[in-house]
Structures are given as C-alpha cells and as structure tokens.
C-alpha cells in the first residue's frame, strides 16, 4: 500500500491525458472537446497508449481536428495519417469508423459535441447518444471520453473504470472489500476534496489512477510499483 495524498499521485504519475496532448477542456470549448473526442476514439482501440498518442499527433500535424475536415480528408488520406502514426493494425477499420461517426455528428448535432451534451436528458442518455454516433464507440471509448469531462460537462458522470478501481485498491485509497463502484467513486471524490482540491478537477485524480493501473499491467503483476 502506498500512503500518499491524491494530489501527490497526480504530481508523480500525471493527470488528464487530454492535458498531456495539449488539449484544454477547462473552458468547455467545442473545438477542444472535439480534439479530445478524436483522441478518445484512437485510445479506445486495443492498442498501446503510445501508438494512440502518436496517431493523434499525426492528425494534429495534418490539421484534421474538426468533423468537417475529417470528412473532407476522405478514407485514403485518413488511412495515410493513421499509418504514419503507426496505427497500422486498425488503419482501414478506424478510417471507416471516423468517417461514419463524424458524418453522424454533423447530421445530428452540426458537428458540435456541446450540442450533443445539451440535448442529453441525463448522464445515461449522454452516454447513449455518444454510442449512437457509430458502431466504433463502445463502453470503453465512451468512458475514456467522459471521465475527463467530469466536472466540465454537468451530465458527464461515467462509472469508474475497472482500471481506476483496481489502482485505487492497490494504492489503499479504498479498502479491498469495497465493491460497489458508486461507493468507490464517492470515497475517491471525498478523498480528493479532503486534499483541498477542486471538485471539478477530480478527473485529474481519476486519470492518475488509470495511469497507475497501466503501469501495473505493463509490469505483469499486482505488486506495488515505485512512484
């Protein structure tokens, strides 16, 4: 068990993935939220975080950071961008997925994810609307996207991922015997506030837990790792 405050974990291991990519979600601007949406689609595949990040950087270099620009690029160009980002295992499938999802986003919400959020009735409806944009958005991708918007979008309240829960238990933030995800989330939010951190920044802590779990998985066991 590691005895530390949530803010210290964030400092040592990193927080939001979006921040690392240079995406600023803090003001809820549509173009920044779209960038994170695109990144989440890449991170959601069974592929390493390093490759997903590299692929996102290639979209950034190609200035393909809006729904319309993705559609204007077309399938061949998207495959080329993905290949340059070493996303070769899923290049064809992902290019098709990106076109389908962005077409739906344009048709249903004029390309604005903030409009999608505004039209959602509650947290569950928000998740369903995201998934209905296309077959390429499942539970994992929706969770990746929404957890970093927790505290920014009022209706973004996804369940804690198993990765965050396992890390929270490994680090001793919650007892191993606690199993209800909603109770675990509440305990972690309480710990974050007790550390005198802003509630709207809780997603920094959540992302740090996911990062810690990734390190555990990479190591291949559940032994404590150095921080």
User: pTM here?
Assistant: 0.92
The answer to whether the Cα torsion of 173, 16, 47, 137 is positive or negative is positive
Q: pLDDT in tens for each of the 227 residues of the chain?
A: 457 899 999 999 999 999 999 999 999 999 999 999 999 999 999 888 999 999 999 999 999 999 999 999 999 999 999 999 999 888 999 999 999 999 999 999 999 999 999 999 999 999 999 999 998 899 999 999 999 999 999 999 999 999 999 999 999 999 999 999 999 999 999 999 999 999 899 999 999 999 999 888 877 654 455 55
Report the candidate in 221, 200, 219, 216 with the shortest Cα–Cα distance to residue 15.
200
Query: CA-CA distance, 32 to 35, in Å (whole number)?
Result: 5
- Domains in the chain (CATH in brackets) are 6-16+160-219 (no CATH), 18-147 (1.10.340.30)
């Amino acid at each position: 068990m590691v005895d530390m405050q949530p803010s210290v974990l964030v400092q040592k291991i990193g927080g939001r993935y979006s921040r690392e990519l240079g995406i600023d979600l803090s003001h809820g601007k549509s173009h920044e939220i779209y960038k994170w949406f695109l990144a989440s689609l890449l991170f959601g595949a069974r592929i390493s975080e390093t490759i997903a990040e590299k692929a996102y950087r290639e979209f950034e270099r190609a200035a393909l950071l809006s729904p319309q620009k993705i559609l204007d690029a077309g399938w061949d160009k998207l495959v080329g961008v993905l290949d340059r980002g070493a996303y070769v295992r899923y290049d064809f499938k992902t290019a098709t997925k990106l076109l389908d999802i962005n077409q739906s986003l344009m048709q249903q919400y004029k390309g604005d994810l903030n409009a999608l959020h505004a039209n959602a009735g509650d947290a569950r409806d928000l998740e369903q609307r995201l998934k209905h944009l296309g077959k390429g958005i499942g539970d994992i991708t929706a969770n990746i996207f929404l957890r970093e918007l927790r505290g920014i979008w009022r209706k973004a309240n996804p369940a804690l991922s198993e990765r965050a829960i396992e890390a929270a238990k490994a680090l001793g933030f919650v007892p191993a015997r606690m199993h209800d995800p909603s109770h675990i989330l509440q305990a972690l939010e309480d710990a974050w506030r007790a550390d005198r951190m802003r509630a709207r920044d809780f997603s920094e802590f959540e992302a740090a837990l996911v990062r810690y779990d990734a390190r555990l998985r990479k190591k291949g066991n559940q032994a404590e790792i150095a921080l």
